[in-house]
Amino acid sequence: MKVKEDRSLVMYILLSIVTCGIYSYYFLYSIAQDANVVCADDGKKTSGLAAFILLSIVTCGIYAWIWYYNLGNRLSENAPKYGLNFSENGTTVLMWMIFGSFLCGIGPFIAMNILITNMNALAHAYNEGRGR
């Protein structure tokens, strides 16, 4: 199975605006699916869209931060398996999500860019390692 390795923050923002936010949920679904494929050997599972939406509603948005934190850590922990090393982890993502919001609201975009960049790097290494 080939994993998408050309995600872009600009396309994420533009498609989210054009679709009134619907694309952002599809994006989270697809990145969770790809993370589960690329990081399959670590014994963890990134929860899908239904859990993300429902638990975020129930916890007044706190679960979304936990989800992003766990995804950032999972990508960082699996990087050495592919000969990569990410300086950013879940803590970096979480700090940008929370405190970066006070910087004219750009923090969450920086956090998403970190996740996109790291996921693209892992996906590329995964696809190369599988000979595709």
Task: Show pLDDT as tens, one digit a residue, over the chain (132 residues).
Answer: 789 999 999 999 999 999 999 999 999 999 999 999 999 989 999 999 999 999 999 999 999 999 999 999 999 999 999 999 999 999 999 999 999 888 888 999 999 999 999 999 999 999 998 644
Write the pLDDT tens digit of every residue in 80-104. 999 999 999 999 999 999 998 888 8
- Dihedral sign from CA coordinates of 114, 11, 3, 25: positive
- Boundaries of every domain in the chain: 9-129
Question: What pLDDT, on a 0 to 100 scale, did the predictor assign at position 79?
Answer: 96
